[in-house]
Amino acid sequence: MIVPPIACPGMVQTALSRYISVVFALIEDVFLIASDIRSKLKKGVICEMPNIEILGYTLNSSILAIATLVALIVASIAAVLAERKVLAFIGTILAELFLGFLFVILVVPNTSGNVTQSSSLLSQGSQEPNTSPETARTWSSAFSPSPEPESKKSKVDTIIEEASQVFLPNGEYILARNIILSGLTEYPSNTELLGELDYYKSFEPIRFSEMYELMSEGGAITTYTVKRTDNLGTVYESYDYVLADYDSGLFVSSDRKKVATTYMINGKYTNFYGTIVLDDIHKNTDLVGLIRVLGDGVILLEQGGITKGFLPVDFNIDLTGVRQLVVEFEGYDQLKSLIVNSYLVNNFLGFSAFIRE
């Protein structure tokens, strides 16, 4: 509000009365909030704001904040008396804004508290809260401030410990991950919890069909966009199988072929898990295929005899410490063997829970 120019004592008095009425309203609000805060401090419902250090002096930030508000009010009155109308207007606005700031900092919690509930309870002034358990909980939740750093850290540490206790015995990273995710709903930007979430996510398996190859010779190990069926009639989605796509040129060849594909896993995985099956299209073939897996040049799996009447073979290969993984298919254009439901796993005990999920 901008007052008219002050040209005579009467006009000065009018302007003063306008601003003083606003100032008195502000002062009344200050006393209401201060009284309410004081009563709650006595009851331990809210905590005092921490001390701060300025130029070597330790000051109570609550007192400093109230003093700043009073200074703004006094400055507004002084500006009116000195006929500085714009300064008076700015001072009054700043005082109101600062009062709102104090209300938020000192009274209303800025995390999970209910602001509407806080306002309704604040309107009761400095009345004593009902001592029944239900009302006491409501009062406390409405006026409790943001968690103190130590209290928050203690709760975060508890969440991390709970996740660790679930994970350590059997590698149950899914349960541990869910505990961390639950904690993040309360502390969404907490760096410790976010770090723990990344840690447990590192144990999530990756489909072999989603692995990036370093190089491939003789063709490629790939998947198609269509479903495939094995010789026992089990159907697999496109992301659930891989097969060899041999370099055959424009014509189908009867020669035996080999595809060798290399993946750099750099010791990240502990297990290679999956099943070897024969494609339904070639279930009556007399040709014989072979699948081989090598880790750092050492043969870890060699499954031959993939031909008519072949039954699915599950495998679980230990990849601990393996940096370079090579998967080889040997066969023919007229023979398609598949690796299905295959994953690279960072913790097999936890992976068993992933399968159940």
Task: Render 245-271 in DSSP notation, one character per residue.
Answer: EE--TTS---S-EEEEEEEE-TT--SE
User: Do 125 and 31 fall within a single domain?
Assistant: yes
Shared-domain flag, residues 216 and 178: no
Asked if residue 357 belongs to a domain, the reply is: no
The helix/strand/coil state of 131 is coil
Residues 27 and 159 in one domain: no
Q: Tell me which amino acid residue 101 is.
A: F
DSSP notation for 135-181 = HHHHHHHHH--SPPHHHHHHHHHHHHHHHHHHHHHHT-HHHHHHHHH
> Average pLDDT for residues 260-287, to the nearest whole number?
94
SS3 354: helix
215-217 and 257-264 as β-strands: parallel, antiparallel, unpaired? antiparallel
Confidence at 304, pLDDT banded by 50, 70, 90: very high
Kindly state whether residues 197 and 210 are assigned to the same domain: no
- Give the model's pLDDT for residue 347: 74
Give the Cα separation of 276 and 339 in Å (integer): 5
In three-state secondary structure terms, 346 is coil
Count of the separate structural domains present in the chain: 3
Q: Does residue 157 register a pLDDT over 60?
A: yes
The pLDDT value recorded for residue 158 is: 93
Residues 189 and 224 in one domain: no
pLDDT at 204: 85
Whether pLDDT at 218 is above 60: yes
pLDDT at 232: 94
The winner for highest mean pLDDT among 28-37, 67-76, 155-164, 169-178 is: 155-164
Query: Which of 13, 20, 23, 18 has the alpha carbon at shortest distance from 2?
Result: 18
Same domain, 189 and 210: no
My answer on whether 190 and 131 are in the same domain is no
Three-class secondary structure of residue 233 per DSSP: coil
Band the pLDDT of 81: cuts 50, 70, 90.
low
Which of 152, 157, 261 has the alpha carbon at shortest distance from 208? 261
Residue type at 281 in one-letter notation: I
Tokens of 92: 């009054």
- Provide the residue range defining the domain that includes 313: 206-347
* Shared domain check, 66 and 15: yes
Quote the distance between the C-alpha of residue 272 and its chain's center: 28
- Confidence bin at 254 (pLDDT 50/70/90): confident
Among 18-27, 81-90, 324-333, top mean pLDDT goes to: 324-333
Nearest to 342 by CA among 329, 323, 355, 326: 355
Residues 6+ apart with CB under 8 A from 309: 231
Residues 157 and 246 in one domain: no
pLDDT at 150: 61
pTM above 0.75, yes or no: no
